[in-house]
Amino acid sequence: MAVALHAYARRGALEQIRYSVEELSEDVNALDIQHMTAMHYAAKRGFAHIVHYLHDKRADLEIKNGVGQTALTLASQANQLEAVEALLKRGANAQAQEEHGITALHRACLTGNELLVRTLIKGKADPLAIEGFAFESALHYAAREGHDEILRAILEHVKQPHDIPDHQAIEEERDMLKREQGESAYRCGFRARRLDERNSRGETALHLSAANAHLQCVKVLLQMGTESWK
């Protein structure tokens, strides 16, 4: 049964998984009641070797569970670095969005794991992507939680010339979508126009750092951020 395959994936039981798939012809992409696959469970528990095996058997990396999360998002949320590395190596989409446009990088910023964040950015996660719940980028998330080293990692990346947004193209597309679909669509799914982008409450990353008394974050943002934080 697929239920057994999911249970084996949760335990990291490779031999039982291999038997289920190769001898019993279990469907590696079978969904349980939560719309989870064996890949979801392996990623969430951090079993990189199971991730590799399941993908070899054609498990789909981009299936979303009941709340719109891919295996990569779950692994990032659970702070499972080895699983994240395995998924990215296998070609997982680092920019996949769950509900409200939240990405794996947003989730990773809440863990405090700088290496996890750097790994996702190296894997093409976009630090300036805006989610549609509070209209925040990964920069906002890290600032609120007080993760100064994560802020540093993000700022080191976004200050590179290749990562500067095409302002005119962004503005034109945003204006069109805002007219057609409203404010939420206007913000969700786009990149921040600048490092001092404001969230739905008018707060920048600097505001969030200061409001939560994260002094080191304030210092990093002032030292490495834009010349004028508003």
* 108-136 pLDDT per residue, tens: 999 999 999 999 999 999 999 999 889 99
Calculate the alpha carbon distances from 65 to 34, 36, 41 in Å. 7, 5, 11
Examine the domain organization and report whether 66 and 114 are in the same domain: no
β-pair partners for 97? 103
Domain around 21: 1-93
Same domain flag for 98 and 128: yes
pLDDT at residue 170 above 90? Answer: no
Q: At what angle do helices 148-158 and 138-145 cross, to 10 degrees?
A: 160
- Residues 153 and 196 grouped into a single domain: yes
Average pLDDT over residues 162-172: 50
pLDDT band at 160 (very low <50, low <70, confident <90, very high): low
Give how many domains the chain has, as a whole number.
2
Query: What percent of the chain clears pLDDT 70, i.e. is strictly above it?
Result: 83
pLDDT at 189 exceeding the cut of 80: no
Q: What angle do CA 201, 204, 210 make, to 5 degrees?
A: 105
DSSP letters spanning 149-177: HHHHHHHHHHTSGGG---HHHHHHHHHHH
pLDDT at 193: 65
Residues 170 and 210 in one domain: yes
Do residue 102 and residue 89 come from a single domain? no
Closest C-alpha to 154, from 216, 80, 225: 225
Backbone angles phi, psi at 129, to 5 degrees: -65, 135
> Sorting pLDDT into bands at 50, 70 and 90, what band is 158?
confident
Task: Answer for the pair 208, 198: CB distance below 8 angstroms, yes or no.
Answer: no
* 73 shares its domain with 144: no
* Residue that is last in its domain, among 46, 71, 93: 93
Q: Are 159 and 72 members of one domain?
A: no
Domain CATH number, residue 228 = 1.25.40.20
The mean-pLDDT minimum among 72-81, 119-128, 191-200 falls in 191-200
Highest mean pLDDT among 135-139, 159-163, 180-184: 135-139
1 and 32 assigned to the same domain: yes
User: How many Cα neighbours within 13 Å face the side chain of 173?
Assistant: 13
Which residues lie closer than 8 Å to 117 by C-beta, 6 or more apart?
105, 108, 109, 138, 142, 150, 153, 154
What tokens appear for 197 in the block?
């982008």
pTM, entire model: 0.86
If asked whether residues 36 and 125 sit together in one domain, one would say no
- Tell whether 227 and 131 lie within a shared domain: yes
